[in-house]
Amino acid sequence: MSLFIVCLSALACSRPDFKTELQHVNQLDSLYAELQTEYAALAQIKQQDSAMKVINADLDFFKDKFDETNRATFREDVAWISNYRSIRKLVKGAGENMKLASKELAISAKQLKDLRQDLEEGNAEVEKVKGYIETERNALNLIGKSLAVLDSNQTEFMKNFEWMKPKIDSIKAKLN
């Protein structure tokens, strides 16, 4: 019976403690928290929402103003309006990317929680854990790059909107 207890004790002691891996998970948790903050900041930007309302109203105004008879006369104006419409498409695409980033962040949160629990309970294989940590690091870095692109695109969108809006207003004035 005492040999059995000694064997169990030896097995319990030989189980890896995963201290290093837990440190990596802590670092990933910190990176996740930073990305979550970035995402929240991007989601709070309402400037883009108000600009989209203006664009939609402007495009509604133009909807019935051009037909085949006057399209050639206002060719340059139609091109401006078409470019203006393309800004709206970009913003809609950014909205879809924000939804995707939100989903990816939720997946990472769950993965990190599960990984931490497995490490703390010793229910993991060392080599697999290293792969999981690397996979999560790559996923979080990719989310970070996506958020940086979204931030840059929002800035670019507003620049284009502010640049195009006076011309769109002058076309509207001509048509009134």
- pLDDT tens for each residue of 120-149: 888 888 888 889 999 999 999 999 999 999
Report the C-alpha gap between 169 and 10 in whole angstroms: 80
- Total structural domains within the chain: 1
Residue 7 within a domain: no
Residue 66 reports pLDDT greater than 70: yes
* Range with the poorest average pLDDT among 54-58, 66-70, 90-94, 126-130: 66-70
How do residues 78-122 score in pLDDT, each as one tens digit?
888 888 888 888 888 888 888 899 999 999 999 999 999 999 888
Domain of residue 54 covers 18-175
Residue 117 within a domain: yes
Residue 155 within a domain: yes
pLDDT of residue 1: 53
First to last CA, the chain: 98
Report the C-alpha gap between 109 and 4 in whole angstroms: 41
Cβ-proximal residues to 130 (8 Å cutoff; 6+ apart), any chain? 21
Report the C-alpha gap between 53 and 58 in whole angstroms: 9
Position 2 confidence tier, pLDDT thresholds 50, 70, 90: low
pLDDT of residue 100: 92
Position 17 confidence tier, pLDDT thresholds 50, 70, 90: confident
Cβ-proximal residues to 123 (8 Å cutoff; 6+ apart), any chain? none
Residue 159 within a domain: yes
The length of the chain is 176
What integer best gives the mean pLDDT of the chain?
A: 85
pLDDT of residue 7: 46
Residue 9 within a domain: no
pLDDT of residue 15: 59
Residue 40 within a domain: yes
Residue 8 within a domain: no
Residue 10 reports pLDDT greater than 50: no
Residue 36 within a domain: yes
pLDDT of residue 89: 83
pLDDT of residue 13: 52
pLDDT of residue 127: 84
